[in-house]
Amino acid sequence: MKSIARIVWVLSLCGLCLSCREEDPSMTALAVGGIRAEALPGAIRLSWEPSENRDFLYAEVSYYDFGTQTTVTKLCSRYTNMLYVDGLLNRYGKYRFTFTAYDMQERPGQPVYIEQQCLKAESYYVVVAENRIPLTVEQLGTNAQEPSEGPLENLVDGNPDTYFQSFWDEYTYPELKPSGYHYLTFDLRQEVSALKFQYWNRKRGGSLPRTVNIYGGTDGTTWDLLVHLENLPGDPGSSYTSELMLPETPVSRVKFEVIQGTDTYQPYFALAEIEFYEVVRELIDPETE
């Protein structure tokens, strides 16, 4: 007897109300059995025992959503015994989930309910602004400028018809041939903790970036890999917009290193324009709104 009382006490500490029936003589005896409610961050996972009753058609699960102030109803077929309910908040306390089984004639059975409080919903960020970072040629650098065409300033002149071209004419200028991959560097002249970029490919001809490493840093010497990109757009005149990049520590410099281009001869590449954006985010805590 003491062990049973202890089990009930432990369950109450977990915020779980044992499933109960709401007997209604107008309904059939059919009922969902063995229901359980697992508390998750901002969600509750409901499960129940599969019904072996051949007359069982589906289960109706309903609960009151405090956020929308509406009653939500979900229909679960006879072939499932689990339901994940999200969009919940710990600050609302316990949610009551009522299960009603329906037979092949769609007659309702005896309602069964369970109560559970979810764990606190996780905080998340929302983007409130994307501010373009102004760039001039003085903020740009490269280890592989082609001397016959495509100077650096073309990357930031706002004209998609001009382009930057990395080194390719090693027969005329063998002394200028760089070692390693060709890259561009950008001095943002401000520290950013969240950023993204967009570039436009050269409109005509040339090798275009397909595989790229993006690095971040602060001193122009030490670089940390931010993202490795593959299968980038290879069509002339196409553009690419990156996903949000979140350095472990704020960065003020970016390195754009091309690992592979569209041309079979490596490693040169061309770009028409490039822009960087500081992304401003706001942390949202659903439990305090």
What CATH fold (topology level) applies to the domain 2-120?
Answer: Immunoglobulin-like (2.60.40)
| Mean pLDDT for the stretch of residues 46-65 | 95
pLDDT 10s digits, 97-131? 999 999 999 999 999 999 999 999 999 999 999 99
- Predicted confidence (pLDDT) at residue 247 exceeds the cutoff of 60: yes
pLDDT at 7: 39
Q: Which residue has the tokens 């109450």?
A: 12
DSSP secondary structure letter of residue 166: B
| Mean pLDDT for the stretch of residues 48-74 | 95
Q: Residue 230: which pLDDT band, with cuts at 50, 70 and 90? A: very high
Asked if 100 contacts 60 with a C-beta cutoff of 8 angstroms, the reply is yes
Q: Which two tokens stand for residue 50?
A: 């599969």
Asked if 236 contacts 205 with a C-beta cutoff of 8 angstroms, the reply is yes
Q: What percent of the chain has pLDDT over 90?
A: 84
What is the overall mean pLDDT for the chain?
91
pLDDT 10s digits, 18-45? 455 556 666 789 999 999 999 999 999 9
Higher pLDDT, 247 or 204: 247
Q: Residue 205: which pLDDT band, with cuts at 50, 70 and 90? A: confident
- Predicted confidence (pLDDT) at residue 231 exceeds the cutoff of 70: yes
DSSP secondary structure letter of residue 92: G
pLDDT at 175: 92
Using a 10 angstrom Cβ sphere, with 0-12 exposed, 13-18 middle and 19 or more buried, the burial of residue 208 is buried
Q: Which helix (H) or strand (E) holds 10?
A: helix 2-13
pLDDT at 144: 96
CA 73 – CA 50 distance, rounded (Å): 20
Is 128-283 assigned to CATH 1.10.357.10?
no
User: Could you tell me the pTM of the whole model?
Assistant: 0.75
Q: Is 2 in a helix, a strand, or coil?
A: helix
pLDDT at 37: 98
Stretch among 76-85, 150-159, 204-213 having the lowest mean pLDDT: 204-213
- Predicted confidence (pLDDT) at residue 17 exceeds the cutoff of 80: no
CA 100 – CA 54 distance, rounded (Å): 16
CA 24 – CA 183 distance, rounded (Å): 75
- Predicted confidence (pLDDT) at residue 14 exceeds the cutoff of 50: no
Q: Where are the domains of the chain?
A: 2-120, 128-283
pLDDT at 249: 97
Stretch among 71-75, 111-115, 147-151, 267-271 having the lowest mean pLDDT: 267-271
